[in-house]
Chains A and B, each alone.
Chain A
């Protein structure tokens, strides 16, 4: 929660984002964090595939893996949006549960069709995010505290609502199309004789939409730039006429919306709408965003990086699982990977910065 941002980080990581156009000085290609992530992910996937050919089984391994990655990428994006204004959202998981609650309620009580339920879910998520953002912007209290309190409050509220509204703490009514959405892959969509890969789940459409939308927002629109500026330097942003309060609210509302989308996807993945959805979202949300190159201090985001970071974690998790590394040790390795990746990144940026400085 410190604000000083060292220059090397800004110089090297900003190249993927449109926040700062680099002048003539471009850093060497090997510093590009996203490229490194991509290479690492592909290499690891190939390694796991060699060691355990079952890893490349499209239906049984890759399909659920990609479904998980799709969901967690949206979670990472939800975190990334608030990180872009220099805030945090500790309540991503709870907001996901909150959104999923409304979707389940819509299907169970109002007998909504699939799409309308999803809309209700997104609306609920955006509303709770808006409320959080409003409190933060209005009172100026640190986002960490407010979202922490929100996490507590929603943790209680969602369970209370589930136990009040349902008999066994879960909505099990499934509207038509939900099962299809869960199990459909590109293999079911054929253009003439050519069918897609059975490894890609239909749910990935939401992730692609979210990625595209956010990519457009941050690279092409004025609004996106204003969000980044608010994160990079709130005082300067305020002085240059950006309504920072409103941008903060927007970021939190967007985060709530994305979290609710992730909650919906997780609920579709498991088939029931229950309070435990989103319990384990907090760690992946930070992992994906931070590994992808988004700065905790705000002002620098990487939309694609969120996907790549999440993929790396997903591949490692699945690969180690197939290699027979027990659940208990999985977390140890994941934590080590996180720390190692960040340290390596740190070393890389410092070294490359020195090189650039020396060459000028």
Chain B
């Protein structure tokens, strides 16, 4: 038991150190980018309305990044993020506009539906032992169809004005939806770093065998991770419904790639066992900055995707080179050699795994 405590403490220490380094870089990039944009727009970018728009459209990227991260932390991928988000948004919209359900009930129903879909996905993966990638690919297809069936070709916009007002409300130029996203991030961070259930999730993701041997059901963790992912997607869908002028079948269509980009830039390993809540939030910031810069200089929207691709590639390759450099230099104490399996851990992933995970 002492060793586990020790390992926990060490992992936490390593984790803290690592999060400081990655997040510091991201923080610097964010601040520098923001300042540069402000200067380029001759100060207009710092003014209230600009800040508000900037933060308004930041809520969804943060939430979907976190949703993907919840699945990634047990080594699962959730391809259904976009489809589930779109489906939930349309469901909420249709419930309010067509069936006259009051907004709070519809929102609750939407979030609940998303959570349930996540739960079912997780149970299905565990029950059939089919790769999560394929299962979520299947649920993605089903949900896309369901979303199209709900919304058809129309745009649903006749729903509760209160919800729309809430979506656009911005006390002190801080949009409510952005605060919602931040609150979700804070709760998730508390859950992952402080709660026993969260630690179990990470343990199961870092080394399933060791987790099983120490009495953690990896199956249950997979179900929990997908449920959590579904819940976060549900919240993302609600913020999207609230802040968009209307929902249609294209909502969620472009969520999948950013949902992966944010955690990867933020320093989450794809093979599980690590989370970086703050890093993911910052990475969403960086991506939003690229988008804002594109709008500022009125460039082709295609530049955003191109640049995000380069940033993702640069982050992982740079991190990898950095890690190899470190290994050559000091043969970091107690670090096991990288796993022989193809998808090696990214640089940011290695330190937490060094605590006996790999």
Contacts and interface: CB of A to CB of B under 8 A. Distances in A.
Interface of A: 1-3, 6, 85-87, 135, 139-146, 148-160, 163, 234-235, 238, 248, 283, 286-287, 290, 296-298, 326-336, 338-339, 342-343, 346
A335 B343 contact: no
B117 to A, nearest CB: 12
A148 B257 contact: yes
B340 A329 contact: no
B141 A135 contact: no
Given A2-B75, A339-B138, A150 B271 contact: no
A156 B135 contact: no
Given A235-B340, A331-B145, A339-B138, A148 B260 contact: yes
Contact of A336 (B142, B313, B316): B142
A335 B142 contact: yes
B346 A141 contact: yes
16 contacts: A2-B208, A6-B129, A135-B317, A141-B317, A142-B346, A145-B264, A146-B313, A148-B260, A163-B302, A283-B137, A283-B140, A334-B141, A335-B142, A338-B138, A339-B135, A346-B130
Interface in B262-316: 264, 270-271, 300, 302-310, 312-313, 316
Contacts of B140: 283, 335
A336 B321 CA distance: 43
Contacts of B139: 335, 339
Contacts, number: 171
Given A139-B320, A148-B260, A338 B141 contact: yes
Interface in B119-141: 124, 128-131, 133-135, 137-141
A93 B306 CA distance: 15
Nearest to B307: A156
Given A155-B302, A283-B137, A332-B149, A343 B130 contact: yes
A297 B134 CA distance: 12
B146 interface: yes
Nearest to B72: A1
B188 interface: no
Main secondary structure of the interface of A (DSSP, over half): helix
A144 B343 contact: yes
Contacts of B192: none
B312 A148 contact: yes
Nearest to A244: B342
Main SS of chain B's interface residues? helix
Contacts of A157: 302, 306
Contacts of B124: 339
Contacts of A335: 138-145
Contact of B270 (A1, A149, A154): A1
A86 B342 CA distance: 7
B148 interface: yes
Contacts of B303: 156, 160
A156 B304 contact: yes
Interface of B: 75, 77, 124, 128-131, 133-135, 137-146, 148-149, 152, 208, 257, 260-261, 264, 270-271, 300, 302-310, 312-313, 316-317, 320-321, 338, 340-344, 346
Contacts of A2: 75, 131, 208
Given A160-B302, A160-B306, A238-B340, 10 more contacts: A1-B77, A148-B312, A149-B309, A152-B309, A160-B303, A290-B134, A297-B131, A331-B145, A338-B137, A346-B128
Contacts of A156: 302-309
Given A163-B300, A339-B124, A3 B341 contact: yes
Contacts of B131: 2, 296-297
A343 B141 contact: no
B138 A146 contact: no
The 5 nearest A-B residue pairs measured at CB = A156-B306, A153-B309, A152-B309, A331-B145, A335-B141
Given A145-B270, A335-B139, A330 B145 contact: yes
A136 B140 CA distance: 27
Interface centre among B145, B148, B321 (most CB of A within 10 A): B145
A99 B340 CA distance: 33
B218 to A, nearest CB: 11
B307 A286 contact: no
B317 A331 contact: no
Nearest to A164: B300
B305 A152 contact: yes
A152 B343 contact: no
Contact of B320 (A3, A140, A238): A140
A332 B142 contact: yes
A154 B128 CA distance: 35
Contacts of A135: 313, 317
A187 to B, nearest CB: 35
A326 to B, nearest CB: 8
B312 A160 contact: no
A152 B257 contact: yes
Nearest to A157: B306
B76 to A, nearest CB: 9
A146 B317 CA distance: 9
Contacts of B261: 148, 152
A142 B344 CA distance: 6
A328 B138 contact: no
Q: Which of A146, A148, A158, A297 has the most CB of B within 10 A?
A: A148
Nearest to A162: B302
Nearest to A85: B342
A195 to B, nearest CB: 39
Contact of A155 (B75, B77, B309): B309
Nearest to A3: B341
B145 A159 contact: no
B291 to A, nearest CB: 12
A1 B133 contact: yes
B144 A331 contact: yes
Contacts of B310: 149, 153
Contacts of A158: 302
